[in-house]
Structure formats: C-alpha cells, structure tokens
C-alpha cells in the first residue's frame, strides 16, 4: 500500500512539475521581451532628451499580469517537486 501511495505521489509530482514549467515558460518569455522593449524605449527617450512619464502604462500592467502568471506556474512546479520528494521519502 505504501508503495502505491509513494508511486502515486511521484507521478503526480512529476506531472505537476511539468505542467507548472509549461505554464510558466510562455508568460516568462513574453515578460522578458516586453521588459527589454520597455528598456529600449527608455534608452531612446533618454538619448533624445525627453522626460519619461513614470505613470502606469499598458505595458506595465501587462508585465504585472505576465509576472503573476509566471509566478503561479513556478509555484505549481515547486508543489510538484515537493510531492515527488515526499513520494521518494515514503519509499
């Protein structure tokens, strides 16, 4: 019985780790691209001598949403790793 529970925890943990990785990878890549574009715009405006408004923009809202989605995916992966470790410890 303990073997089946251990095996089940390992399988569920591995599945959750893979699911979390897949869910975090896309938003994280889009977040990095948006952040690089934002930094490029800031450099251009600094070179041009213009002042950049520090208010909330659509890009900053999108970056916050993407960061949250990536964080949620990473949390799912961490929970999966913990479940797999617990399954291995029960063996």
Q: What is the pLDDT of residues 23-82, one digit of tens each?
A: 999 999 999 999 999 888 888 888 888 766 777 878 889 999 999 999 999 999 999 999
| CB of 66 closer than 8 Å to CB of 30 | yes
| Domains in the chain: boundaries | 2-90
Tokens of 88: 């291995």
What is the pLDDT averaged over residues 3-9?
93
Q: How far apart are CA 28 and CA 42, in angstroms?
A: 21
Q: How far is CA 38 from the centre of its chain?
A: 19
Cα distance from N-terminal residue to C-terminal residue, the chain = 11
Query: What's the pTM value of the predicted model, to 2 decimals?
Result: 0.81
Q: What is the per-residue pLDDT for 55?
A: 74
Q: How far apart are CA 91 and CA 87, in angstroms?
A: 7
| CB of 86 closer than 8 Å to CB of 2 | no
DSSP state of 54: -
Tokens of 86: 């617990």
């Amino acid at each position: 019985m303990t073997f089946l529970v251990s095996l089940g925890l390992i399988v569920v943990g591995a599945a959750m780790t893979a699911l979390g990785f897949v869910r975090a990878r896309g938003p994280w890549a889009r977040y990095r691209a948006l952040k690089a574009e934002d930094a490029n715009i800031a450099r251009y405006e600094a070179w041009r001598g213009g002042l950049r408004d520090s208010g909330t923009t659509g890009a900053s809202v999108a970056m916050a949403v993407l960061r949250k989605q990536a964080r949620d995916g990473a949390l799912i992966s961490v929970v999966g790793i913990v479940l797999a470790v617990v399954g291995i410890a029960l063996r």
